[in-house]
Amino acid sequence: TQLLEQSPQFLSIQEGENLTVYCNSSSVFSSLQWYRQEPGEGPVLLVTVVTGGEVKKLKRLTFQFGDARKDSSLHITAAQPGDTGLYLCAVIYSGGGADGLTFGKGTHLIIQP
Amino acid sequence: ETGVTQTPRHLVMGMTNKKSLKCEQHLGHNAMYWYKQSAKKPLELMFVYSLEERVENNSVPSRFSPECPNSSHLFLHLHTLQPEDSALYLCASSQDRRTGGLTEAFFGQGTRLTVV
């Protein structure tokens, strides 16, 4: 069982459409991060959400943290080919002192021109 | 200099070889990490070095050996690997939460490792 379940696993849509991807868990988190990874590159941080119910916007991307801090969503408006990539959610894993991140499997997003 | 630099970008090695992956960060962070990314698994944390403390994932085999000589450099020494160790190995850095950071990770481009 994965700590973070991301859905859908794959999504292919046309340019201009809207979409939402999800990150769900049965655990409560103090914060949650979203990353985007392009082929051949490392993940790049998009946003960190820390407060239940919080909504953050980054241009056409809207991130929401669930009220109970167990889940999050990423909504993209008017998707563009440049939005293509692997979208990963992550939470802090504390190894008894130093932290690392635990990631979901991600959503592979393809925006077709 | 880019934030986090990994070398080499690609590596092919035999199962009896010994090689090392290198990572350098120029962001002034005090924590560095190794992650493994395989085709069918999520990004998996392998090792953390933070504030001179090392934390490791107990599921990582001993054929992977990390070294962190200072807060800017991180190595992953590889020996007698198996073909199933083929993956993208990613280095990251961040500011430790205990010093006011949010553990927001900045990743390098990764080393694509193929074990033959």
pLDDT tens-digit readout, A4-48: 999 999 999 999 999 999 999 999 998 999 999 998 899 999 999
Distance in Å, alpha carbon of B5 to nearest chain A alpha carbon? 11
Length of chain B in residues, anyone? 116
Q: What percent of chain A has pLDDT over 70?
A: 95
Compute the half-sphere exposure of residue B40: CA atoms within 13 Å on the CB side of its CA.
Answer: 2
What is the arithmetic mean of pLDDT over A54-80? 97
Contact at CB, A103 and B43, closer than 8 angstroms: yes
Q: Pick B55's closest partner by Cβ from A95, A102, A104.
A: A95
- Cα A90 from Cα A78, distance rounded (Å): 25
In this structure, the number of other CB atoms found within 10 A of the CB of residue B8 comes to: 13
Residue ranges in chain B whose pLDDT is less than 50:
none
Contact at CB, A103 and B105, closer than 8 angstroms: no
**Alpha helices of chain B — where are they, by DSSP H?**
none
**Minimal CA–CA distance to A84: which of A38, A44, A41, A40?**
A38
